[in-house]
Copies of this chain bind each other. A is one copy, B any other.
Amino acid sequence: MDKLQQKIRIGMVGGGQGAFIGNVHRIAMRISDQFSLEAACFSADPQRALASAAEIGISPARSYPNYQAMAQAEAARQDGITAVVIVTPNHLHFPIAKCFLEQGIHVICDKPLTLGSAETRELITLSQSLDKHLFVTYNYTGYPMIREARERVRCGDLGEIRIIQVEYSQDWLATALEQSGQKQASWRTDPKQAGAAGCLGDIGVHAFNLAHFVSGMTPIKIAADLHSFVQGRVLDDHAHVFMRYANGARGSLLSSQVAVGKENHLRLQIFGDKGALDWCQEHPNQLHFATLEGATQVLSRARHPISQASRDVSLIPAGHPEGYLEAFAVLYREFAHALAAPVASHAVHSALPAYVDLCFIEACIRSSAQDSAWTALT
């Protein structure tokens, strides 16, 4: 993918000093080398916002005390930002995205796009009516070997898909960390900030999105069992879901934040009637490909016989491991190209999958409340 001739001016809401994901977005932008971060509203606390701006290198003039002021001022500037990145806790995504879209500024938002599917639908409608982009950073889709996996499915190397197995497990919430005041844990376990799903909304939805991204398939119904292991925790910290697809395929999604020993174990397995794929985020440069007739192959990023689709998003040669940040940067590179392209080509990272993801979360919550009854994905 060629480099754009001009960097895109961008702003950020949330993600100040000490925030994990805000920093990740900034590094990803720098790796992509297509953005210039020029304005920000790093914190609701003005002191903290300014300090962050100083550290991150935003001029005080463009460090705003609130997102509304930022949207207005930037829209009014001739050299104002083209797009904004939203990396606040979940419950603020909707009003912020809406505000910037209405000011004619493209939006890049961390997942989940909103707390509920209705709000996401509203944002999508709004963005379409205004011809503005609405990107959601499902960062795991940026891994080159995930692109390879998708390409293999598309080419029919797996045959008819029968089984989709996806798991995303961590252990950092195995204890009542939120009761210690740890910030990440606090908002993620608080329904007001995180939404109606805990673990499922935080990481399970990544797994669901990735399965969709690679297979191109969306389940028609699901049956879910959400559970909270840690005493006093309101939201689920463990979720297990059966999925059924229109072609008869079966799926399962397991997501846990209390699985001791699991760091960031996102794994996707897809089995067709001819071949099968196995990928694990913690060793992202390999993809295992099995067939009925031959030996299992260990496909390696940027090495023969990797597809062009995968090579296009590789930065460096085989054997030089790329990681989480490089995958994140792939999305930013693609966002930049979409932002620089005419409106008609807005297809790649639309928010539509994010809408399906929220419908999935909502269906899981309904199913779990109804004794794991099979529930349609509308």
Spell out A's residues near B (CB within 8 Å). 3, 7, 20, 24, 26-27, 30-31, 33, 55, 57, 162-163, 165, 170-171, 174-175, 223, 225, 227, 229, 238, 240, 242, 244, 248, 250, 252, 254, 256, 258-265, 271-276, 278, 281-285, 288-300, 303-305, 315-326, 371-374
Measured between C-beta atoms, what is the minimum distance from A349 to chain B in Å?
A: 21
Q: A248-B229, A319-B282 are in contact. Are A272 and B290 (CB under 8 A)?
A: no
A24 to B314, CA, bound (A): 13
Contact status B259-A276, CB under 8 Å: yes
A152 to B40, CA, bound (A): 42
Contact status B305-A294, CB under 8 Å: yes
Of chain B, the residue at the smallest CB distance from A224 is: B242
Contact status B300-A260, CB under 8 Å: no
Measured between C-beta atoms, what is the minimum distance from A29 to chain B in Å?
A: 9
Contact status B274-A250, CB under 8 Å: no
Contact status A295-B297, CB under 8 Å: yes
Of chain B, the residue at the smallest CB distance from A277 is: B261
Of chain B, the residue at the smallest CB distance from A302 is: B263
Q: A165-B254, A259-B276, A321-B323 are in contact. Are A296 and B298 (CB under 8 A)?
A: yes
* A250 partner, pick from B238, B271, B282, B373, beta carbons under 8 A: B238
Q: A289-B295, A298-B298 are in contact. Are A320 and B275 (CB under 8 A)?
A: no
Contact status B27-A315, CB under 8 Å: yes
Q: A24-B316, A252-B240 are in contact. Are A300 and B292 (CB under 8 A)?
A: no
* A295 partner, pick from B165, B175, B298, B319, beta carbons under 8 A: B298
How many copies the complex holds: the figure is 4
Of chain B, the residue at the smallest CB distance from A249 is: B229
Residues of B contacting A316 in the complex (Cβ-Cβ under 8 angstroms): 20, 24, 324-325
Contact status A325-B250, CB under 8 Å: no
Of chain B, the residue at the smallest CB distance from A30 is: B30
Contact status B325-A322, CB under 8 Å: yes
* A283 partner, pick from B7, B33, B283, beta carbons under 8 A: B283
Contact status B297-A294, CB under 8 Å: yes
Residues of B contacting A317 in the complex (Cβ-Cβ under 8 angstroms): 20, 263-264
Residues of B contacting A261 in the complex (Cβ-Cβ under 8 angstroms): 271, 275-276, 278, 288, 290-291, 296
Contact status B372-A283, CB under 8 Å: no
Q: A250-B238, A319-B264 are in contact. Are A3 and B55 (CB under 8 A)?
A: yes
Contact status B290-A295, CB under 8 Å: no
* A170 partner, pick from B20, B319, B371, B374, beta carbons under 8 A: B319
Contact status B242-A291, CB under 8 Å: no
A157 to B329, CA, bound (A): 38
Residues of B contacting A315 in the complex (Cβ-Cβ under 8 angstroms): 27, 325
- Listed residue (A20, A170, A238, A317) with the most chain B CB atoms within 10 angstroms of its CB: A317
- Listed residue (A171, A238, A373) with the most chain B CB atoms within 10 angstroms of its CB: A171
11 residue pairs bridging A and B, Cβ less than 8 Å apart:
A165-B254, A175-B292, A229-B273, A258-B271, A261-B291, A263-B317, A263-B319, A281-B319, A297-B298, A321-B324, A372-B374
Of chain B, the residue at the smallest CB distance from A258 is: B162
Q: A273-B174, A291-B260 are in contact. Are A372 and B242 (CB under 8 A)?
A: yes
A208 to B92, CA, bound (A): 45
